[in-house]
Structure 1
Amino acid sequence: MGKELKEKGYMSLSSNAEISMLEVAQNIGKVFRVPTMPLVQTLTPRQKENELENTYSGNFGLDEFPFHTDLAHWYVPPRYLFLRCAVPAPDVVTKLIDSRDICGDIEASILSRSHFKPRKRLDRAANLLKIKQGEIFRWDSIFIEPANSNAEELTLKIQYAISSAKYISLNLDRNGQCLIIDNWRMLHGRSAVSTQSMGRKIERVYFDEVMI
């Protein structure tokens, strides 16, 4: 794994916009297939009323996306996400918060005693999750929910920490510009989308590991 990615939890790089996203990705990391998604996903702004409730667009539409972990409801979320700009939008930014700034002041005992569950059951079972699980830090205000009183307390602490934390804003504003995010460490979100930025298009894949 690259030194910058290890130290910062994210890494920006450029790619040849004429080369396919999959080819670029395969030269960077071990691509992970999410069973319910295309290998390469295309992210575009979508109106809330046109989308399903089990998506971020179905919950927030063109409004700001809150900070979250991708697939936080999985027992082991994908390790990295890789984003590449296909059509830029100068006024839309990707926001990042380091989880070390979120949970650094939260007692380990609260983290260990707090159990969460997916909003919907997986495989007909209510799988219990922890926000901090080994190397994994996960958070999602929509798709996981507290399963005990400790988790309710922890939710308030995390929400307060996120609201007061400093975040990084990155703009994928050039064709072929890329961003790798450590999904076990960094929370990410998106700023609101204006009418002039409806053409924004970002390509995404997930990695099991990064080889650069």
Structure 2
Amino acid sequence: MHLTKKWTLEADGVEVHHEQTRATERLESLGPRWGATVLEARDAGDLWSLSGRFGRGSFPWHTDGAVSSRPPRWMVLRCTVDESSTPTEFLSLPADLLPELSRTMVTMTGRDGRKQRFAVATPVGGGAYKIRWDPRIGRVDSGTLEARIEALPVTFRVPWTEGATVIVDNHRLLHRRPEVEAGKRRLLTREYIGGANVGL
């Protein structure tokens, strides 16, 4: 697991910015942002969302917008409050697993109950793949795949500081949130770049 390297979107699929000016410049180079949402650790409620289903407990590995016909390319997270010291974790899937994932279909169920089938991994050229993964709303044809992915070790772990901005290649990396301690606030703002708000 990488802890101290200066990560880049091109090499690693994730970048961390602590200076607002540099973060803004980088984001503007990627395109317009949309879908601003405040994410706050809370007790379970609305079963559609991850926080609603799992509450303050650990989230499973997932990509955002997996049910959409055009999932967001970039996910942007900005920390406004963190009393919990709870990081965000990222997973780069092993290269030898990707061909299997390209042959594995997943059935995604949208908020409206409509079902769509996609490949878990879609080749996009140059040996790269677009990953679509969310066990909360997706069921794969392989009975062991979910457990195998959950068992993979963390690739990147980002500890939060207030004001930090993290940019993630949502087509390349899975992410999750570990358990948040009861009584501790954790407030992030999330935005997307690319893709479309279709089926989200």
The match for 2:105 is 115
Structure 1 residue 196, shift from structure 2 partner: 3.9
Aligned pair 1:65/2:59, yes or no? Answer: yes
Q: 2:131 aligns with which of 131, 137, 153?
A: 137
Secondary structure of 2:119's aligned partner? coil
Q: Which runs of 5+ in 1 are unaligned?
A: 34-38
1:195 matched to 2:186: no
Q: Deviations over 1:116-170 (max 9, x none)?
A: 2112476x75321110112311211111113xxxx224xx135314403343211
Residue number in structure 2 paired with 1:176? 163
Taking the TM superposition and a 5 Å limit, the aligned residue runs for 1:136-175 are 136-146=130-140, 151-153=141-143, 156-173=144-161, 175=162
CA RMSD of aligned residues (A): 2.7
Which one has the bigger helix percentage?
Answer: 1
Q: Give distance in 2, aligned partners of 1:196 and 1:188.
A: 24
- 1:94 paired residue among 79, 85, 88: 88
1:47 matched to 2:43: yes
Partner residue in 1 for 2:13: 9
Q: How far does residue 53 in structure 1 lie from its aligned partner after superposition?
A: 0.9
1:4-49 alpha-carbon deviations (Å, 9 max, x no partner): 2110110001234xx9x9x77863532343xxxxx3211111100x
CA deviations on 1:56-99 (whole Å, 9 max, x unpaired) are 01210000111100011112210010011111235211000112
Letter of the 1:137 partner, please give it.
I
- Give the AA of the match of 2:138: I
Secondary structure of residue in 2 paired with 1:160: helix
SS of equivalent to 1:85: strand
* 2:126 pairs with 1:126: no
Q: Which structure's residues are more often strand, by fraction?
A: 2
- For these two proteins, the number of residue pairs brought into alignment is 183
Match of residue 106, structure 1, among 86, 91, 97: 97
TM-score scaled by length of structure 1: 0.75
Distance 1:96 1:111 in 2: 18
TM-score scaled by structure 2?
Answer: 0.79
Contact kept, 8 Å, 1:92 with 1:192, in 2: the verdict is yes
